[in-house]
A and B are shown apart, each in its own frame.
Chain A
Amino acid sequence: MNPFLLWLESTALSTWVRESPSVFAFPAILSCHTVGMGLAAGINASLAIRILGAAPAIPIHEMKRFFPVMWFGFWLNAISGVVLLIAYPTKALTNPLFYLKLILVAIAVALVMPIERRVFGEPGRDHDPALGQVKKLAIASLVCWAGVIVSGRLLAYTYTRLLQGF
């Protein structure tokens, strides 16, 4: 028994998310987490496949206009993810896959910055030979986001403990 997790699971927020029959509790938070996933992973994937050569007529540096929406999705998921974690801390923290997901999220976010610096820097770099190096980053980004989605999805099937004492 972990006293901190036991306390966390007994808090009002944790209990409400877990046990409330309201559609605005667990179902709504899970829905937010999925919409945010579509925005964050989807917009990053669109940028990556453009960097890799799809839709070459898109001026890449202009795609930065869509990035506030990507970050909105990211923060929506950071917040909804923390709430889901508060609801079921034991379930997540005793699953090694959860840590893999967090590591992949960290790498995916860390990759955004060098990619942004190279392609959003200045206009007219679309045909820059240096773009070749960004392609490797784009592939890494695609792999990480796909890994985040798959490991997140598998959390529902690989947990060994649900709550403290269960």
Chain B
Amino acid sequence: MAMFQVWLVSTLLSAKPIGRLMHTRWGWPAAESIHFLGLSLLVGTILLFDLRLLGLGRRIPIAALHKLIPWGLGGYAANLVSGSFFLMAEPDQYIYNPAFHFKMLFMAVAGFNALSFYLVAARRTMGPGAAEDVPRAAKIIAATSLLMWVAVIVCGRLLTFYRPGVCGPEGPGFLAYCIPRIRR
């Protein structure tokens, strides 16, 4: 695992132009602004869909509400790009950060959960003749989705507080970025 992390950090660091861009005066703040705008778009659309599956706004056809999802995916794409920019600029701040590990875990669960909706419940909830109320499986998927996205946001916010320390004798020696410096 440690070797994998070292490899990951050095691979991510090889995207030097991105790192340079992010370390300009407004690079980081601009990427963060995009990340938060994307978050709002993603949460705003996915959340409404989940709430509808859970029974709020029953008069809205689920298939109609689903047409908002591509907008949420747009927000998701913006966050994937801005997020990978953070990662390429300061990889060790994320790769060794427990809040980041949990964020990735919850994102993966949210992803598989969304996939399971399309495999298990999409036809019964959005197909022709779908009832106002949805099967229990769809409700469990919706509740999981809500919970996971809130967890992703919270872990994202916690990143700052669980950052590994700076390089140096008192800093963590396991950082790929630190090891060569300390040896030198």
Contacts and interface: CB of A to CB of B under 8 A. Distances in A.
Interface string B17-40: 000000000001100110011011
A49 B51 CA distance: 18
Contact of B158 (A27, A41, A63): A27
Contacts of A27: 157-158, 160-161
Given A149-B33, A154-B33, A43 B59 contact: no
A62 B158 contact: no
State the main secondary structure of chain B at its contact with A.
Answer: helix
Interface string B50-61: 010000110111
Interface in B143-184: 150, 153-154, 156-158, 160-161
Contact of B48 (A37, A46, A59, A156): A46
Interface stretch (A50-58, A87-95, A102-110, A114-122): A50-58
Nearest to B156: A34
Interface residues of B, number: 36
Given A27-B157, A37-B36, A154-B33, A66 B68 contact: no
A86 interface: no
A122 B33 CA distance: 37
Interface residues of A, number: 38
B29 A63 contact: no
B102 interface: no
B64 interface: yes
Interface string A145-163: 1100110111011000000
A58 B40 contact: no
A45 interface: yes
B37 A42 contact: no
Given A34-B153, A55-B64, A58-B60, A153 B40 contact: no
The binding surface of chain A is classed by DSSP as helix
B109 interface: no
A55 B47 contact: no
A153 B60 contact: no
A112 B156 CA distance: 29
Given A46-B45, A57-B64, A69 B51 contact: yes
Contact of A62 (B57, B63, B66, B161): B57
28 contacts: A23-B158, A27-B160, A38-B39, A38-B42, A38-B43, A38-B44, A38-B47, A42-B42, A42-B45, A46-B44, A54-B71, A55-B68, A58-B61, A58-B65, A58-B67, A58-B68, A62-B57, A65-B56, A65-B60, A66-B48, A69-B51, A69-B56, A149-B33, A149-B36, A149-B40, A154-B29, A156-B29, A157-B28
